[in-house]
Each structure stands twice: as C-alpha cells, then as structure tokens.
Amino acid sequence: MKPSIKDKVEIAKKYINQGYSVSFVLKIVKLGKSTYYYNLSVEGKEKIKPKGGKPKGYSINKENKIICDGQIKEFIMESINGDAINYGYRKITYHLRKYYNLIINHKKIYRLCKELNILKNQRVIKPKIKRTIAINRIISASNQLWEMDIKYGYIHGEDKFFYLLNLIDIFDRCIVGYYIGLHCEAKDAAALLRQCLIKRNLFEEEAEKPIIRTDNGPQFVSYKFSKCCDEIKVEHERIPVKTPNKNAHVESFHRILEDECLKINEFQTYAEAYETVNEFMEFYNNRRLHSSLKFMSPNEFYNLYFGEKQTNIKMRV
C-alpha cells in the first residue's frame, strides 16, 4: 500500500530532525519541497466551515416558538395589505418584529419577499387583483358559502413543516376537500377548488356556485387563483386584515385538527403525517358529532338536509 502524503511528511520530519539534509530526505521519500512546507504550515490547524447553507425554513418569535416560513409569508402579505402597503423589505422587517414578535433579520425578509414577487420595485408590473371584501351574510343551506385556509403541521423526525389546505362548507361543517403537501401554491388552491365543485356536482356552468371566502395569504391573492375563480364563475371574497373571526368556521376546524390530531402525534416522517391526517379527516366528516349540527356528523347532516333551505337553521357570517 503506497504511503499517503501525510505519511511521507511524517517520515521526512523524523529524519530531518535527526540532522539529515532536507533536499536529500525529500528526494528519498519522493516528496516536493512545496508540498512538504505547505503541510508543515497547515499542520494542527482546523478547517473552518464556510458560513451559510440551506435556509432552515423557520424563524423564532419572542416566546421562543417556531414559526415556519409559510406562516411568515402570510404575515408579510397581511402587512402589505394593511399598514405596510408602501413599505420596502427593511421596513417590513421592523413591522414584523414590532407587531408579530418575530426575531428575524432583513436578509431573510428580502428573500421571502423575492419568493413572493412583492419587492417594491416589482409591484408596478404585478397584475392588479380585484379585491372583494367579505360582507355579512345569512346562510340557510349547504353550498352557499365555503371557507378556505391553510394549517401548518410539523414533522419532528425530518425537522420540516407540511401544509394542509382545507375547504369547509360553513353550513354543514363538512371538509369538502383538502390538500396536504410539503409545498402549497396558488395552483394547488385552484386545483382543490375545482375538485370540490366536481365532488358536489357544482362544476357545470349552469350550477349555482358557492361563494369562496379566504384570508389574504399569498396563495389566495395571486393572479393564478383569481383567474381560476373567474373561469369557473365563482365569487371570491377576502376577509379584512387581522379579522380571523370572519373566517371563524375554518379557524374553528383548525383548532379541532390541532387538539385532536396534530398536537397528540409526533410525526417522524411525512408518510406517517399523511396517513394520520387522512384518517382524522375521514373520522371528522363521517363520525365526529357536532352540537351545532344536532349532534350529527357533518356528512350525516349534509345528506339529511341535501338541497334544502332551512328556515329554522340560519347562520349569520
């Protein structure tokens, strides 16, 4: 086995320290002078790992709680739809620190704003999306008003987040459809909306479509989602900034999902999370009783009152 350069340097050092000529020893061990002296100069010095690397995918708030990048993007979109409408990424950084208690620097905000395509010098070329503010409505039947929102789950074994995009019918409380994945974009929200309309036989042009209510997340303010709503003739309304009570039914479902599924399971893999969430969704729609539904499950209530407008059951939302 041929000796390595390190072995040759050690052998050369041994004989040179005994008084032999450097040139003679290096010639015998077949080692160049530059190689020998370079190895002497770096000997004992640890290599410093370069800074940087792949972003973690989350930040910490002042309560030491992990906030994933997807949630931070929602905070950014809420901010620029509210008080921070004319702010650049540096001012947005201070806004998030002050009002959302995030521990975050301007470089990360710049990266997230770039991913959202909302850096200030780019806003002038971004297509303007018509914004319809959510108004108070009285709902008396299924398929009149649907709410859509995103919930984040955490996979401990892989140290990453996954997305749960849920669409709920606020009258019968059914989760009409949901999307689960490691990424969630406008195209996924558009695809879910189409699937839910098909599932309830509302995709045909002459069918009376429900109103879709969302918050101001990047998936819902995008041109792609707005274009999808226009194509399938669905009215899309967005709640005012910082008014989650306007999306109360889907937010209530997310609390149930958190307490009865996500909090009590420590997922090791994405496959495990996917299977567990699917099982919970099946349980919620078909077997979980709701006091607001006369102690029936959502699907049972929907099938019982399918297509009927109720005079004794009305909801103001």
* Residue type present at position 3: P
Please give the structure tokens belonging to residue 154: 């955490």
* Predicted pLDDT of residue 317: 60
- Identify which of 247, 244, 248, 228 has the alpha carbon closest to the alpha carbon of residue 236: 228
Does pLDDT of 35 surpass 90? no
Q: Which residue has the higher pLDDT, 252 or 127?
A: 252
Same domain as 233, residue 144: yes
* Predicted pLDDT of residue 131: 65
Instruction: Answer whether residue 131 is part of any domain.
Output: no
* Predicted pLDDT of residue 310: 54
CA 23 centroid distance within chain: 64
- Identify which of 145, 189, 192, 149 has the alpha carbon closest to the alpha carbon of residue 171: 145
Same domain as 219, residue 85: no
Same domain as 287, residue 143: yes
* Predicted pLDDT of residue 49: 57
Same domain as 143, residue 121: no
Same domain as 209, residue 118: no
Same domain as 143, residue 117: no
* Predicted pLDDT of residue 299: 94
Confidence of residue 121 (pLDDT cuts 50, 70, 90): low
Confidence of residue 3 (pLDDT cuts 50, 70, 90): confident
Out of 71, 99, 125, pick the residue that ends a domain. Answer: 125
Same domain as 302, residue 174: yes
Confidence of residue 127 (pLDDT cuts 50, 70, 90): low
Element (H, E) at 286: helix 270-286
Same domain as 32, residue 83: no
Confidence of residue 123 (pLDDT cuts 50, 70, 90): very low
Instruction: Answer whether residue 12 is part of any domain.
Output: yes
For the chain, what is the domain count?
A: 3
Q: Is residue 189 within 8 Å of residue 148, measured between CB atoms?
A: yes
Please give the structure tokens belonging to residue 192: 């879910």
Same domain as 265, residue 120: no
Instruction: Answer whether residue 130 is part of any domain.
Output: no
Same domain as 230, residue 103: no
Long-range CB contacts (within 8 A, 24+) of 276-279: 277/153, 277/164, 277/180, 278/180
Q: By percentage, how much of the chain surpasses pLDDT 70? A: 88
Which of 116-125, 152-161, 199-208, 305-314 is predicted least confidently? 305-314
Instruction: Answer whether residue 150 is part of any domain.
Output: yes
* Predicted pLDDT of residue 280: 97
Angle between helices 89-100 and 106-116 (to 10 degrees): 110
DSSP assignment, residue 224?
A: H
Does pLDDT of 53 surpass 90? no
- Residue 316 bridge partners (DSSP): 138
202-239 confidence digits (pLDDT tens): 998 888 999 999 999 999 999 999 999 999 999 999 99
The whole domain housing 288 covers: 138-316
Instruction: Answer whether residue 52 is part of any domain.
Output: no
Same domain as 228, residue 115: no
Does pLDDT of 45 surpass 70? no
Q: By percentage, how much of the chain surpasses pLDDT 90? A: 59
Confidence of residue 242 (pLDDT cuts 50, 70, 90): confident
pTM score, whole prediction: 0.68
* Residues 124-142, mean pLDDT to the nearest whole number: 70
Same domain as 285, residue 143: yes
* Predicted pLDDT of residue 10: 86
DSSP assignment, residue 219?
A: T
Instruction: Answer whether residue 48 is part of any domain.
Output: no
Phi first, then psi, for residue 220 (nearest 5°) are -95, -20
Instruction: Answer whether residue 269 is part of any domain.
Output: yes
Burial of 254 (0-12, 13-18, 19+ CB in 10 A): buried
Phi first, then psi, for residue 261 (nearest 5°) are -135, -65
* Predicted pLDDT of residue 23: 86
Output the average pLDDT for the chain: 87
